[in-house]
Structure 1
C-alpha cells in the first residue's frame, strides 16, 4: 500500500502526515468481507476523499466501482492512476454533474449498485459565502435527489453521506448546507425507521491533511512563491486526519452491522495552526526565512475552533476509528424546527 497520499511535497521536499503531526498510523487493513462482490457508486470520486477511497476499496474483494465526477481533469487523472482496474472491469468512470437527475437515474438503471458513497460537495467556505445558491444546489438538493433515487432502487443497501465538522453549529453557507443535508437525512431515518431497507449513514469529520484547498495547500503555494504566510489567528485550532485514516474509517463504517444513523470519525485532539506551521517550516530546508502575517481578525464565516458534536449529541458507541452518536436526543419536531431556522438564516 502506497503512503504517497499522506505526503505533501513542498519545493521537492516530502513532508509526511506522521512526522508533521507526530502520529504513528497503523497501515494494516484487513479485508472486509461485507464488501465482497459488491457494486459501489462514488460521487465526487475525483476529489481528495473520493480518489483515496477508490484506492482502498480496490484492495478489497469488491466487484465494481462506478465513479461520477463533474471534472474532466479529475476523470483524466483517475484514468491514469487506475488504468489496470479499468482494464479489469473493476472501475467505471462517468463524467457528469451530481445535480443531473436524468443521468443519475440512467446510472442506477445500468448498474445494480448496492453501496453509495456520496462524497461530492462544494467545500470552500469563503467561495460559498458569495455563492449560496450553488452551495444549496450541490450540497443539499443534489443529495436529496440522489437519496430519492437510491431509496427507489431495489438493489440499494446503503447510502453513506460525507458530512463535516462545519455542520456543527454552522456559521457559514457551506456548514449550513451540510447541516441541512444531515437533518433531512435524519428526518428520513426517523420516518422510515422500521420499513427502510436502505441504511442511511451520515459520516462527520474534520480536515483531511493535504486535501485540495486545505490550509496546507495554501501554505505550499505561499512558500513556493516566496509570499508571506498568512494565518487568521495565532491561536486558531482545527482537527486533522490523514487521507488514509479517513478512507479506513469510511470503509469500516460501511460494515453491514452498523445501522442507520450519525457517525463521527475519530479525529483525536484539535491542532494549533501556528504550531503546525512552525513544525512544517522546521522540517523544510528553505533557502530563505518566510514572513508570517497574522491577520488577527476572524471572519464571521469562520470559527476560532471547530466542533465535532452538538451539545446534546452523546456518543452511543465508541469503535476504534469512529464513534456512533446516540440519536435519542433528536426528534422530528426539533429536526423540523432546526431546518426552518437554518433556512431563515440563509434568506437574510
Structure 2
C-alpha cells in the first residue's frame, strides 16, 4: 500500500493530471484542439510579464480564502461563509481607506486590520450559535453569505455610493497598489498583497502547530468530548476558531478593496473568492504551503482561460469544468488512492 505520508501530496497531483486529461477528452469531443488549448493556457499564464502579474493578483485573495477555510477545517468546523466574510472585510477596509487621513505606515495596516476585524466579527456569529445552541455552522454561514451580500450593498447605497454604483477610491496611503510592480509587469494589477498573504500563511502555521492555543483548537476538532474531558473549553475554542477563520477571510477581502480595485462597487452576485477558497483548501490538503500552490494553480487556470478563449477559441466555461473535475477527484480520494497504487511498483512507493 502507498505510504500514508505521500498520500496528501499525490492526491492533488493525480487529481490535477486526471482533470486535465478528461478536460482534453471533453475538448476533443466538442471539436476543439486540446494541445492548442493547453498551449494557450500556458501562454496565458507565463507568456509575458502582464499575464504573470495578473496570475499573482488573482491567486493572492485565493490564498487567504483558502487559509480561512483550512483553519476552520483543521479545528473541525466547516466555514462555508468565507464569501460573506470576504465582502464585509472588503467594505470595512475600503471605508477606512476612504475616511481616514494618516501616513501610509499607519493607514494601510489599519485598513487591513479593519477588514480582518470585520471578517472575524462575521465569523464569530455562527461560532457563537454553534457553541451555545448547537446550530450547525454550515447552515448559518451559508445564510450569512446572503446577509453580507445585501447588507454591504445596502450600506454602500445608503452612505458611500458615488456615480457609477461604487464608492470613492481609497486614499493612496491605504493602497496596496504599486507603480513599480505595474511597470515591472507591463501594466498588470499585481500589488503587494502577496506579501500579506504569505505572512498570514505563516501565522496560520504558527498558531496551529507552535502554540498551546493551536493544540487545543486541533484537539477540539478531533474530538470535542475528549477535549472537554481533558479540561479544554470547547465553546471558547469553537468561537475562537471561527473568529480567526473569519479574520483570514476578511483580509482576503482587503486584497480586493485595497489592492485590485481600490474601491467597492454594488455586487449583483457573489465574488466567488470565498467559494473558490473551499476548492483551494481542498486541493492544498489544508496546509499553508499546499494552499499557496493550489491558489497559484487556480489563479493560473483563471488567467489562462482568457488566452484559451481568444487564441484557441475554447470557451472559458471549459476551464470551469476542468477545475470542477480536479475538485471532484480530490473529493474522490479513495479512487485516486487506488489509481496511484495501481501505477506504483507492487502497490508501493
- TM (norm. structure 2) is 0.23
Q: Which has the larger radius of gyration?
A: 2
Higher relative CO (Cα under 8 Å, sequence separation at least 6) belongs to 2
- TM (norm. structure 1) is 0.23
Structure 1 or 2: larger helix share? Answer: 2
Structure 1 or 2: larger strand share? Answer: 1
